[in-house]
Structures are given as C-alpha cells and as structure tokens.
Amino acid sequence: MATVSISRHIERRQFPRFVVEPMYTPVAARVEGGADGEDAPFDLEGHAYDISEGGARFELDRAVAPGTAIAMRVFLPGIGERDEGRSVLVYASVIWSEDTDEAGPYRTAAVFTHFARAGDRDRLLRHFAGGRYRMAA
C-alpha cells in the first residue's frame, strides 16, 4: 500500500517574493506621522533582501518598531542609481524587526499599504517580469 505525503505548509503570502542582491538594492525610509509630513527627509538607510508587490524584507541602520508607518524608496538595479524620480516609492507598515538589543543594522519586514506615485507598482512588476530574479522560498 502506498503512503501519501501531505504537505502542511500553507502559503500565506498573496504575492510572489523575489530575492534581490542587497549590495545593489539600497532602500531609504522615513517614519510617517511626524510634524514634517511629506517634507521629512528619508533619514533611514539600508538594503533590501527580498521584495514583492505586497511588501519587503530589508535592513535599516536604526530599529523601527512593529506597527510603525513608514515611507520607503526602493532603488532597484537598472532603474536609476539613487535617482528619486526613478525609484519605487511605497507607504508601508512595519510588521517585524530583529532584536533591537544589539547594534544595527536591523533586519525588518514591512507590508506595503499603497504605492505613492502613479506608475510605481507597474515599474516594480515590470522589473520582476524581466526574469533576472529568482523567487524566494
């Protein structure tokens, strides 16, 4: 009699994630809700590890608490090196952050709440459709 193996893994993610090269995928972020609003500087810097249409896993030079609303610029290779007009700009909510008892960088994950500018979502999806990235496990 043959046995059947049933996988108990349930994929909870709504969108496929793609692995990016951290050294070539810088991010800049700012905490939202301050008095400066849209004019606040993107004063947190780091690198992305993986990204999807719905969120990202990245590191920042300072810790950001889960539940914090952030704005984040993602500079994908080939879109424009640190060119703000060519980056992907998203608003997100931090869902987890590494233990903040040690010095950074701090690995963090955020779910995107919305894309900030017309065309940012499409630019991100076109970038992944090019086939240069592998899907994350």
Domain count within the chain: 1
DSSP output for 34-85: STTGGGS---EEEEEEEE-SSEEEEEESS---TT-EEEEEE--TTT-TT-TT
Domain membership of residue 98 (yes or no) is yes
Section 14-21 average pLDDT: 82
Section 2-24 average pLDDT: 65
Domain membership of residue 9 (yes or no) is no
Residue 5 has what pLDDT? 47
Domain that holds residue 73: 18-129
Domain membership of residue 96 (yes or no) is yes
Q: What is the CATH number of the domain that holds 49?
A: 2.40.10.220
Residue 10 has what pLDDT? 45
Residue 105 has what pLDDT? 87
Please, are residues 58 and 21 in contact by the beta-carbon 8 Å criterion?
Answer: no
Residue 35 has what pLDDT? 57
Domain membership of residue 137 (yes or no) is no
Domain membership of residue 136 (yes or no) is no
Residue 22 phi, psi dihedral angles, 5° rounding = -55, -40
Q: What is the mean pLDDT of the chain?
A: 81
Pairwise pLDDT comparison (62 vs 131), residue with the higher score:
62
Residue 54 has what pLDDT? 94
Angle at 42 between CA 37 and CA 45, to 5 degrees: 150
The pLDDT of residue 6 is above 90: no
The pLDDT of residue 133 is above 60: yes
Total number of residues shown for the chain: 137
Domain membership of residue 13 (yes or no) is no
Domain membership of residue 95 (yes or no) is yes
Domain membership of residue 8 (yes or no) is no
Q: What is the pLDDT of residues 52-105, one digit of tens each?
A: 999 999 999 999 999 999 999 999 876 554 545 568 999 999 999 887 677 778
